[in-house]
A and B are shown apart, each in its own frame.
Chain A
Amino acid sequence: MQTDAPVTADGGSGGRPLRIALMAVIAVGLVLLGGGLAVALGIGRTDTPGADSVEAGFARDMSRHHLQGVEMANMVADRSEDPEVRQIAFDISATQTGQAGRMQGWLALWGVPQSGGDTMAWMTEGGSHDHGMTMDGGLMPGMATEDELANLRELRGTAFDVEFLRLMIRHHQGGFEMAEYTVEHADVPAVRDLAQAIAKAQSAETRTMATMLTARGGTPLPAP
């Protein structure tokens, strides 16, 4: 094609298709560049928390932590005659069941697993206990062991009330650090908000239960 160039009167005819092609390449290249940048920078991405995020970790671990609280609280109806203990147990069971459901709903919306992962592995910053936390068969702080649960199931009356309060106080204390960490580090407002609510409500409940425990002649377990 370019062999014509010397013959034609205007010498530009040989270069024009090339220039047009180059301009096209640049134009297409810029479009691709823009698209690539948008993807790389996450522009327009509805960024849901990933499986390793603080949000997902909190939702996963706190819902699991809550479910054991519910399990213990649900033992009360068959084992305790004490109206005060029965009332707080009902409150804990109903509240924590609802909160666990809320957190599981988030996990489903974010498309991350409802369970799994090392417990508390998402609490990566500044935790002095991080290394101890995943021990003891994956039990999180404050959670009762299988033996403690088995023992609790066998008790009745005041003996049950005292042991229930001891375990539940420790359970609440154990969840507190997770909640506080999440208040500080989570980006999703709804998650921070629930964590804040849990931290506040559980501190108040812990004080109430500590008073109830003393009134029934019990002594608290060491804090987790």
Chain B
Amino acid sequence: MAKDRKPDDARPSGGATRSGGGNPNRARTGGKSGRTRPPTQVVANAHKRPWGLIAGAVAVVVFAAAVIGYAVVQVNEANANKLASIEEISGVEAADYAAGQDHVTTEVDYEQSPPVGGPHDGNWADCTGTVYDVDIRHENAVHGLEHGAVWITYNPDEVSDADIDTLAELVDGESYRMMSPYVGLDSPISVQAWNHQLKVDSADDERIEQFADFMTTNRSPYGDDTERNEALAYPEPSASCENPAFAAEPLVEGDASTPIGPSDMATTEDQG
């Protein structure tokens, strides 16, 4: 290579090639470039062209592209099926109830239906993977949401027994989940976590499971967005979902508030 580059190489060796002693390939390739130049120039250029470097560059570029492509595919695969934020599930509605909602024994007129936050009863509904067959008292259910539970509700007039079984499989034996019929629900199925709600038409909608898996006791529903996590995630990490007395004899919507099982202090803070 180095020899090729010697300045005095250019013209004389060009002549030599021309006279038949050189590499015919080079000469031909040079000619193929189609440039309209005097013959000597074509030959001279052919000799100066650093084929080794060109081959090396092409090889490096191709190899680098292949490796990077492989790396990208691998990283994408690792991140596949991994939700980073609740916003990646379409159709989820968010509310913004702050932590520290009052404990009340009165009936609450909730803005959302089913409710996703707000004042609630001091006793939480048992949410230890509990499948209720009655429309449990909403004020108690909201307290379960505050403890990190996901609550699946369905309109008993609009879903089949098979649908109920399908939904129950997502709940039965799963800590921090509960499920109940909800009379007058405006869609066949609605899934709630604190401040978040997803309404769907079919028990087979894969978003139900995505929502339930992602939101159950998830304090980071917005991934790295700590500001929104703090504002919107359920307020009481590691609070219990156990209320065996409620599980045994649940209060039903319309019942008056009744002390039943454990309760906790309202999380009202002295923030003026």
Please give the residue numbers on chain A whose beta carbons come within 8 Å of chain B beta carbons, in ascending order: 2-3, 5-6, 9-12, 14-15, 18-19, 22-23, 25-26, 29-30, 32-33, 35-37, 39-40, 50-51, 63-64, 67-68, 70-71, 74-75, 101, 104, 108, 111-117, 119, 137-140, 143, 146, 149-150, 153-154
Contact = CB atoms under 8 A, between A and B. Distances in A.
Contacts of A23: 53
A77 to B, nearest CB: 11
Contact of A22 (B41, B54, B83): B54
A30 B65 CA distance: 11
Interface in B151-197: 168-169, 172-177
A116 B209 contact: yes
A167 B214 CA distance: 31
B75 A39 contact: yes
B33 to A, nearest CB: 10
A116 B11 contact: no
B93 interface: no
B56 A26 contact: yes
B265 interface: no
Contacts of B220: 108, 111
Given A40-B71, A74-B242, A116-B209, A11 B56 contact: no
Contacts of B87: none
Q: Is the interface of B mostly helix, strand, loop or mixed?
A: helix
Contact of B7 (A11, A39, A101, A138): A11
B48 interface: yes
A36 B242 contact: no
A14 B5 CA distance: 10
Contacts of A146: 130-131, 172
Contacts of A15: 5, 48-50
B7 A32 contact: no
Contacts of A19: 50, 53
A11 B40 CA distance: 12
B131 A153 contact: no
B7 A10 contact: yes
B68 A36 contact: yes
Q: Is the interface of A mostly helix, strand, loop or mixed?
A: helix
B10 A33 contact: no
B238 A26 contact: no
Interface in B51-110: 53-54, 56-57, 60-61, 63-64, 67-68, 70-71, 74-75, 78, 81-83
B218 interface: yes
A32 to B, nearest CB: 4
Contacts of A75: 244
A123 B174 CA distance: 18
Pairs A-B, 10 closest by C-beta atoms:
A11-B10, A116-B213, A29-B60, A10-B7, A15-B48, A36-B67, A36-B68, A39-B71, A40-B71, A33-B64
Given A2-B45, A11-B9, A33 B244 contact: no
B150 to A, nearest CB: 8
B128 A138 contact: no
A41 to B, nearest CB: 9
Nearest to A138: B173
Given A138-B172, A150-B248, A25 B60 contact: yes
B45 A5 contact: yes
Contacts of A115: 174-177, 212-213, 216-217
